Amino acid sequence: MNSYVNYDKLLEGYNKEIELDVNNLSTYFKRALLYTELNDYEKALVDYNTVIKLDSDNAYAYNNRANIYEHIGDYERAITNYNKSIQLDDSHIPAIFNRGLLFEELSEYGKAIADYKKVVELDDKHANAYYHIANLNMELNEFEELSDYEQVIADFDKVIKLDELHVEAYNSRAILYEELQDYEQAIADYTRAIAIDKGHIGAYYNRAKLYEMLEEYEQSITDYDKLIDLGGTNLYPYQKKAFLYVMLGSYHEAIDVYNQVLEQDVNNIDAIFSRAILYHELKNYKQAKIDYDKVIELDCKHVDAYCKRADLYEELNDFEQAIADYSKVIELDGRNVEALSNRGIMFHKRNIHEKALSDYEKVIQLDDRNVKTHYNRALLLFEQNEYDKAKSGYDKVLQLDEFHVDAYNDRGIIHYEQKNYDKALADYETALEIEDQEAKVYYNRAILYRELKELQKATEDYEKAVALDSSLPKLEIK
């Protein structure tokens, strides 16, 4: 609606004209247009019905009545009226084009393209018809060959040649350039679309996502800022902006963005949970716990919140609370490998070996390729001096990960304890080939060399070990 138009005065004038001449076709038509602009579709229909009653061959009236039916969702009557308009005048471009738009909305793409092509036959400078042909070709094309892209891009080129301010053509062409990995041209087209229409949400979104893919995070943030400035209730730009700040390592800025989200939606679980993770990363355990607690208050089945709060308790050495949270996760999801594994570790640290072993074995039943848990189970058995079972566990670890230094080291110790010195030496040497700065391996090999009476080698290894880790116990070599 035009704020400079006095619609009431206009309507009053039309009403008076009709009072003076009830068969004034022109005035009925103009009043119907006015009612349409005022979104009073019922009254507009009444007036178009009157126009058609007075002039049953009026193609424009049928076209406009079809528009009204389309607005109110009566598509069958809309198409019937477009058809009648075209029957009366087969060169009536508005009706042909509008029918094409409706066919496109109804996913009758073949009929839509036929109408658009008819339009450009009648008017070879009709940019919007060319645009819809190009856009449907883009939507329907499987793009198996480069030539497919080139053809559709050429279609958009023609639209832009006819109308250099056709914002949608620039945006659509940019999408194709992006798929062709011509990112410079894609950004240029998105930028041109934005220059034409500074409120074009689609172009800002598309450019922001492209900048993100190119790891130009600050540029992407600028576009999301613009989307936020454009308003609306969509919180997606805030979420993306926060994510990009995290990618930049700017956790405090990301927290500020989540705070903005929570100003609009105080119980937004995703924002609270994401903020909790950032506080956790920053070791602000108090605030992280407050947020995890809030998430769980809002959703008592939020598995990830229990997991992360359990991690927090573990970092604070509050193993009892950590176990309680992992247990809650397992209650909610008995197949949660992470929770079972971590609870096993907690039991292990508290020397509750039977429960630890039970959790490790449940993990392995669910995921036999879980290297971490195979190692932890082997370590537990090793600590209980069940060397044969432990060795079998380490064998499995190394089957899954041939570069697992700790498994080689521990298995080397077992071989040493079982007086299989050649095998112990082989494991230590393999561990050091993988990681030559591992103090404990040098230390254990020093013990082995001492046992083998190779005292020079033992001394050299011991010296390397303490140089790397001065906290190692003193080793007598003689």
What is the CATH classification number for the domain harbouring 157? 1.25.40.10
Q: Is residue 410 part of a domain?
A: yes
* Dihedral angle of Cα 269, 272, 276, 277, to the nearest 10 degrees: 60
Residue with tokens 């454009």: 230
Tell me which residues of the chain have a pLDDT lower than 50: none
Taking a C-beta distance cutoff of 8 angstroms, is the pair 341, 356 a contact? no
Q: Is residue 178 part of a domain?
A: yes
* Residue 148: predicted pLDDT: 84
Q: Is residue 29 part of a domain?
A: no
Work out the burial of residue 176: count CB atoms within 10 Å of its CB; fewer than 13 is exposed, 13-18 middle, 19 or more buried: buried
* Residue 4: predicted pLDDT: 62
Taking a C-beta distance cutoff of 8 angstroms, is the pair 131, 166 a contact? yes
Q: What is the pTM of this model?
A: 0.79
* Residue 144: predicted pLDDT: 79
Q: Is residue 419 part of a domain?
A: yes
* Residue 445: predicted pLDDT: 98
- Of 176, 201, 231, the one marking the end of a domain is 231
Q: Is residue 133 part of a domain?
A: yes
* Residue 231: predicted pLDDT: 82
For the stretch 46-91, pLDDT in tens is 999 999 999 999 999 999 999 999 999 999 999 999 999 999 999 9
d(CA 430, CA 438): 12
d(CA 474, CA 462): 9
- Of 211, 231, 251, the one marking the end of a domain is 231
Q: Is residue 76 part of a domain?
A: no
Q: Is residue 449 part of a domain?
A: yes
* Residue 1: predicted pLDDT: 58
Q: Is residue 340 part of a domain?
A: no
* Residue 226: predicted pLDDT: 96
Q: What's the domain count of the chain?
A: 2
- Of 197, 231, 265, the one marking the end of a domain is 231
* Domain encompassing residue 471: 401-477
